[in-house]
Amino acid sequence: MALLADGVSALFIDGKMLSGSAGTFPTINPATEEVLGVAAEADAEDMGRAIDAARRAFDETDWSRNTELRVRCVRQLRNAMRDHIDELRELTIAEVGAPRMLTASAQLEGPVDDLGFAADTAESYVWNQDLGAASPMGIPTRRIITREAVGVIGAITPWNFPHQINLAKLGPALAAGNTVVLKPAPDTPWCAAVLGEIIAEHTEFPPGVVNIVTSSDHSLGALLAKDPRVDMISFTGSTATGRSVMIDAAATIKKVFLELGGKSAFVVLDDADLASASGISAFSTCMHAGQGCAITTRLVVPRACYDEAVAVAAATMSSIKPGDPSDSGTVCGPLISARQRDRVQGYLDLAIAEGGTFASGGGRPPSREVGFFIEPTVIAGLSNDARTAREEIFGPVLTVIAHDGDDDAVRIANDSPYGLSGTVFGDDPERVARVAARLRVGTVSVNGGVWYSADAPFGGYKQSGIGREMGLAGFEEYLESKTIATAVN
């Protein structure tokens, strides 16, 4: 089986590969601007059929109660993706513009392997808890708390890490006993549609349990949030869109999981190795062209060392040239689209208007006339009040901000509508720990520690979201609690 062999992807509804009722739409290679092929263009009726299939599969089959089948199917999906990992790698590099080196981790292989965590969790999970006998209101009663699937999940996903985010929703939601309708981003339809091919050919998932609806129309995702047949929305994307999802879901009081934007701070204390910390901050901002919600794009450094930090960050970024993502040495590939490149350039222009300067970068690389590339850029001379220091840019752009001690550094880091992630570098372990504990964020890296893992929950405070993905907490997002009280004679 060659994945997407004819350059055309299909919808996956009720166990069948189908054409889109609205025709097709192109998917573009962001590094070359060439059309890779086409994806099925769904309309509202297609989405309705997918929701109906998921509803029937949940209500009329034993999927939600058959843990053994669910575990087997999720493992089959993992194994089949492993078997096709090289094809998936090339597809991901071409459609996402993901650097090849990242496909060995969070862009592909990591998420595929993480399906095993979802299956293992379902297999070992304690689904029922016996509270024992009691006499509430004087009536002898035995109480059991049971955990069961929420129902039909509408999963709406972005383009920046499509496999990671698609599978971080599908794995736990399916292992927990739900059925799913996945609406992926229009920019990366193939990374989602290929799952339909694999599921159909290599797994025992019953029809309707997984449905994949591709479309260039963002409003189809809103149908999932509004439809009363859908029990929960799991959304990853911008805070503005997440706000709309909440509004749409409110009409039917749906359960909502939201993983939204970030403007995370990399805090350097005055006893840290400034050069090392500043270089690491700059390098991480360039990974996948800065297209990651948890990337620390504010470098907060001691005022006395500000110029040195800017110089180190600029030297690091200047050494990283935007390149072909298919090359093994590329760190910074293209942005996903011309629209996104123009958006990032708009923020760079704004930085100058706000009084900032570029220590490196600032626009399109002269050597890259084709492709949606932006130079890695260091912005200096702005305070945390500037829009470029407060708003999510989603590009290889680092703003360096001065602080006047630990309390001021914490204040700056927390002075954001977001609270997704953060980093602290310092030499004194107790001091670093105190600063990390004060950051109002969902994940913190201390001196280079890595929080990304299948067994660790990920999510944010404030306008960075509601709930957690991955880990046991991410699995339990897709469960409801039921208390069963039986009278004892």
| Catalytic residue annotation | 259
Beta bridge partners of 233: 154, 256
What CA–CA distances, in Å, run from 413 to 12, 281, 359, 371, 408? 43, 15, 22, 34, 9
Closest by CA position to 233, among listed 310, 175, 151, 311: 151
DSSP 235-270: EES-HHHHHHHHHHHHTTT-EEEEE----EEEEE-T
Q: How far apart are CA 54 and CA 453, in angstroms?
A: 29
- Find out whether 354 and 386 touch, Cβ atoms under 8 Å: yes
Q: How far apart are CA 88 and CA 74, in angstroms?
A: 18
Both tokens of 414, joined, read 């927390």
For residue 45, what are its two tokens? 């009726």
In three-state secondary structure terms, 169 is helix
Sign of the CA dihedral running 422, 427, 430, 435: negative
The answer for 310, left when phi > 0, alpha when psi is -120 to 50, beta otherwise, is alpha
